[in-house]
């Protein structure tokens, strides 16, 4: 694929330039110096996660190589770049980091579960559906999350007990349409159609789940067996939970698992639709 001067696939160039400017204006936060105190404050953790997402966006502006990394078969150069800059922001601040792209970094502060670039295949092909997902975890589970739609400049954030928002607009999804009218995202292929209205396979679980939270989609079903690591869904899980959308594992397991090798099968939906989709997924 040919690239423009700044390294972005041509389809994304104008949008990304515009949104990087907007992100810096709206998400820059003053840095607090006493890390031992600030890591107890959800507002500061939220600011740090936004800062890490900003760093990824800035790194992509000058990225020339969106192809395979030469490492894992499913890893792209963009994954490696995004992972490096996330560590450059979070490691010095005392966070532990569990990233898809690197070894678990332990520290005294909260662990941040990171997918530096969810949807990297989409990004490599110029499809504008890819994100950076970050979720700080404390002893009670997912605590603070940011999911940054890096193609379109949209930011989702959530704090446990404090609600979820998209670009500052509060998200709440009290219910969903009946299955026959539902617009559902899939990962993998189901053995049959249970009767949903329409479906799409979009290729970035974090954004798929956030789109359920904001109402653009009605549900999500992972049709592959144990295909997703915690980094794929945890940030969006907190966004969904705070927006009234249930996310559950098809086998009833805990989705918040700080284990690089663990895989899960998430299903999401609000109200009765969520239960119906979960029952469907449990049938295969």
Instruction: Single out the residue of 264, 182, 177 nearest to residue 220, CA to CA.
Output: 182
Distance separating alpha carbons of residues 132 and 120, to the nearest angstrom: 10
Residue of 20 and 113 predicted with greater confidence = 113
Residue of 121 and 26 predicted with greater confidence = 121
β-partners of residue 138 are 141
**Is pLDDT of 138 > 50?**
yes
Residue of 177 and 27 predicted with greater confidence = 177
User: How confident is the model over 229-248, as a mean pLDDT?
Assistant: 98
| Per-residue confidence band for 12, with pLDDT thresholds at 50, 70 and 90 | very low
pLDDT for the residue numbered 17: 31
Q: Which CATH architecture has domain 179-281?
A: 3-Layer(aba) Sandwich (3.40)
User: How confident is the model over 79-90, as a mean pLDDT?
Assistant: 98
pLDDT in tens, 174-211: 889 999 999 999 999 999 999 999 999 999 999 999 99
| Per-residue confidence band for 35, with pLDDT thresholds at 50, 70 and 90 | very low
pLDDT for the residue numbered 153: 97
Residue whose entry in the numeric block shows the structure tokens 């219910």: 175
pLDDT for the residue numbered 10: 36
Mapping DSSP to helix (H, G, I), strand (E, B) and coil, where does residue 226 land? coil
β-partners of residue 148 are 132, 155
* Topology annotation, domain 10-160: Fructose-1,6-Bisphosphatase; Chain A, domain 1 (3.30.540)
User: What is the phi/psi pair of residue 104, to 5°?
Assistant: -65, 125
pLDDT for the residue numbered 40: 58
| Per-residue confidence band for 14, with pLDDT thresholds at 50, 70 and 90 | very low
β-partners of residue 156 are 147, 166
β-partners of residue 118 are 131
Distance separating alpha carbons of residues 32 and 20, to the nearest angstrom: 23
Q: What pTM was computed for the model? A: 0.87
| Per-residue confidence band for 13, with pLDDT thresholds at 50, 70 and 90 | very low
Positive or negative, the Cα torsion across 271, 274, 277, 283?
A: negative
Q: Where are the domains of the chain?
A: 10-160, 179-281
Distance separating alpha carbons of residues 133 and 88, to the nearest angstrom: 16
Contact yes or no for 42/34 (Cβ under 8 A): no
């Amino acid at each position: 694929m040919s690239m423009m001067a700044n390294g972005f696939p041509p389809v994304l160039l104008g949008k990304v330039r515009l949104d990087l400017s907007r992100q810096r204006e709206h998400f820059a936060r003053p840095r607090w110096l006493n890390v031992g105190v600030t890591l107890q404050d959800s507002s500061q953790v939220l600011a740090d996660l936004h800062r890490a997402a900003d760093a990824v966006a800035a790194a992509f502006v000058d990225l020339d190589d969106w192809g395979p990394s030469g490492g894992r078969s499913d890893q792209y150069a963009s994954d490696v770049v995004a992972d490096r800059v996330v560590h450059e922001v979070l490691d010095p601040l005392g966070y532990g980091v569990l990233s898809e792209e690197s070894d678990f970094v332990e520290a005294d502060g909260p662990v941040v579960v990171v997918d530096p670039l969810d949807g990297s295949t989409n990004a490599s092909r110029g499809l504008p559906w890819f994100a950076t997902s970050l979720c700080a975890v404390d002893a009670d589970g997912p605590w603070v999350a940011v999911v940054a739609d890096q193609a379109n400049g949209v930011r989702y954030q959530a704090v446990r007990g404090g609600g979820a928002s998209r670009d500052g607009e509060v998200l709440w999804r009290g219910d969903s349409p009946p299955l026959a009218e539902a617009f559902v995202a899939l990962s993998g292929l189901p053995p049959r159609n249970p009767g949903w209205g329409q479906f799409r396979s979009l290729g970035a679980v974090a954004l798929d789940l956030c789109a359920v939270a904001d109402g653009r989609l009605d549900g999500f079903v992972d049709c592959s067996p144990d295909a997703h690591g915690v980094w794929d869904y945890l940030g969006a899980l907190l966004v969904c939970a705070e927006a009234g959308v249930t996310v559950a594992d098809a086998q009833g397991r805990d989705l918040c698992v700080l284990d690089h090798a663990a895989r899960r099968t998430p299903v999401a939906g609000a109200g009765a639709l969520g239960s119906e989709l979960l029952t469907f997924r449990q049938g295969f």
